Amino acid sequence: MKSDPRPLIAHVVHRFATGGLENGVVNLINELPARRFRHAVIALTEITDFSRRIQRDDVQFIALNKPAGHGLWIFPRVRALLRELKPAVVHTRNLGALEMSAPAAWAGVPVRIHGEHGWDINDPDGRSTKFRLARRMYRPFVHQYVALSRHLAHYLVQHVGATPRHVAQIYNGVDVQRFRAHPDGRGVIAGSPFASSELWMVGTVGRLQAVKDQVLLARAFVRALELAPEARRRMRLVVAGDGPLRAQVEAVLSDGGVAELAWLAGERHDVPDVMRGLDAFVLPSLAEGISNTILEAMATELPVVATEVGGNAELLEHGVTGRLVPASDVDAMARALLDDFADPSAARARGVRARAEVERRFSLDGMVAAYGDLYDRLLAKAAARGALHQRPT
């Protein structure tokens, strides 16, 4: 049987489930021309039903079911797998998958890329000495880094020791056809207990985990209604997503006496419709790279309030396309919510400007083209040095 001449890209992630990083992988695989590249997704732990979002039928999914901890013992297995697959590119993402660059080098993979997408709760600002040392330890196995924000690019150069020419900065892109404003201003979210057009709906979308800090939003919602009791008649909160923080969010809302004014919608597979059912969007994270959900909210013309962490300030211009508040500051977020509630015309104007900014700087087509060009350039360099033709068998 004739071999397929298209280079295979093996995308290596910690877990392939609902999340911004994984959403970016889905978009990239779906949108890169099938005539140019083949793809495989390798998850160190598990692959969930989220994989169904990939629309191509020629993508291989492999779950290694690795337990927690360093994966040195799994290196021989990964090396054997990569020798069998023979990818031209291994593209690891975030610290949880970085160690797989070592067995990729051992297997003779010609192009090894590592993407830094953002921080987690164990290192929300990139200051952990242990994690910096880990990234430095694996640096010799990485040919090229991709940083999703200027903040992360600076980190890789200044604290990991990557040379600037080996760091490409590529922003996430958003599908501006899938995410767009509701033609009537705001729709009704399926299953929502809040259907009245008189209400003002503020919400967030994301996994309920510590780094996303939806507890802060719950506290800010309670505080906003304490500061402006008259807002209780119209202001409602939507929290879409599920995860370990759910009980804590529910407790904050219940203790604050506003449980009936909030809806915890659980994990949703209709995020564009959820966005179109809001009047304003909030991202209360403790750390971020380049947030897909901020971009999706901007594309939906929603006024956005976000914490000033990571790459958020690269997406939003305070007072122009959104509002930025300090992380963990309940009062600042509460007042930002009340400002948008009190002046919806100004809030909507920020949303319109945000949509224009997404179309100009953060389109999905632009992101896909940047990755495609990067893959082509690195493959051409590998071919020039003979690496594509001299791989071990």
Over residues 162-168, mean pLDDT: 97
Contact 136, 130 (CB under 8 A): no
Contact 349, 317 (CB under 8 A): no
* Cβ-based neighbour number of residue 262 at 10 Å: 26
CA–CA distance from 264 to each of 193, 260, 325 (Å)?
10, 10, 23
pLDDT of residue 59: 97
* Cβ-based neighbour number of residue 114 at 10 Å: 29
Q: Express each pLDDT in 63-113 by its tens digit.
A: 999 988 777 889 999 999 999 999 999 999 999 999 999 999 999 999 999
Judged by average pLDDT, the poorest of 12-26, 155-169, 252-266, 267-281 is: 12-26
| Euclidean distance between CA atoms 167 and 145, whole angstroms | 5
pLDDT of 392 > 60? The answer is no
Q: Which two tokens stand for residue 26?
A: 């889905």
Higher pLDDT, 67 or 59: 59
Over residues 194-208, mean pLDDT: 96
Q: Express each pLDDT in 297-350 by its tens digit.
A: 999 999 999 999 989 999 999 999 999 999 999 999 999 999 999 999 999 999
pLDDT of residue 140: 97
Over residues 177-206, mean pLDDT: 95
pLDDT of residue 2: 63
Over residues 183-188, mean pLDDT: 92
Proportion of the chain above pLDDT 90, given as a percent: 89
pLDDT of 181 > 70? The answer is yes
Name the pLDDT band for 361 (thresholds 50, 70, 90): very high
Residue 36's closest CA among 337, 374, 392? 374
In sequence order, the β-bridge partners of residue 41 are: 11, 61
Burial pattern 275-302, b for ≥16 Cβ within 10 A else e, equals: bbbbbbbbbbbbbbbbbbbbbbbbbbbb
Question: What residues have CB less than 8 Å from 224, skipping those under 6 apart?
Answer: 231, 235, 334, 335, 337, 338, 341
Over residues 285-297, mean pLDDT: 93
pLDDT of residue 386: 86
pLDDT of residue 393: 41
Residue 337's closest CA among 187, 227, 210? 227
| Euclidean distance between CA atoms 70 and 235, whole angstroms | 47
In residues, how long is the chain? Answer: 393
Contact 215, 245 (CB under 8 A): yes
**CATH 3.40.50.2000, the chain: domain bounds:** 8-173+364-384, 200-361
SS (H, E, C) the chain: CCCCCCCEEEEEECCECCCHHHHHHHHHHHHCCCCCCEEEEEECCCECHHHHHCCCCCCEEEECCCCCCCCHHHHHHHHHHHHHHCCCEEEEECHHHHCCHHHHHHCCCCEEEEEECCCCCCCCCCCCHHHHHHHHHHHHHCCEEEECCHHHHHHHHHHHCCCHHHEEECCCCECCCCCCCCCCCCCCCCCCCCCCCCCEEEEEECCCCHHHCHHHHHHHHHHHHHHCHHHHHCEEEEEEECCCCHHHHHHHHHHCCCHHHEEEEECCCCHHHHHHCCCEEEECCCCCCCCHHHHHHHHCCCCEEEECCCCHHHHCCECCCEEEECCCCHHHHHHHHHHHHHCHHHHHHHHHHHHHHHHHHCEHHHHHHHHHHHHHHHHHHHHHCCCCCCCCC
Higher pLDDT, 109 or 288: 109
pLDDT of 272 > 80? The answer is yes
CATH number of 200-361: 3.40.50.2000
pLDDT of residue 391: 47
This prediction's pTM: 0.86
pLDDT of 47 > 70? The answer is yes
Residue whose pair of structure tokens reads 């071919």 in the numeric block: 383
Name the pLDDT band for 389 (thresholds 50, 70, 90): low
Domain 8-173+364-384 indexed as CATH 3.40.50.2000: yes
Higher pLDDT, 257 or 121: 257
Contact 379, 371 (CB under 8 A): no
Q: Express each pLDDT in 221-254 by its tens digit.
A: 999 999 999 999 999 999 999 999 999 999 999 9
Q: Express each pLDDT in 366-383 by its tens digit.
A: 999 999 999 999 999 999
Judged by average pLDDT, the poorest of 204-208, 341-345, 385-389 is: 385-389
pLDDT of residue 124: 81
Name the pLDDT band for 118 (thresholds 50, 70, 90): confident
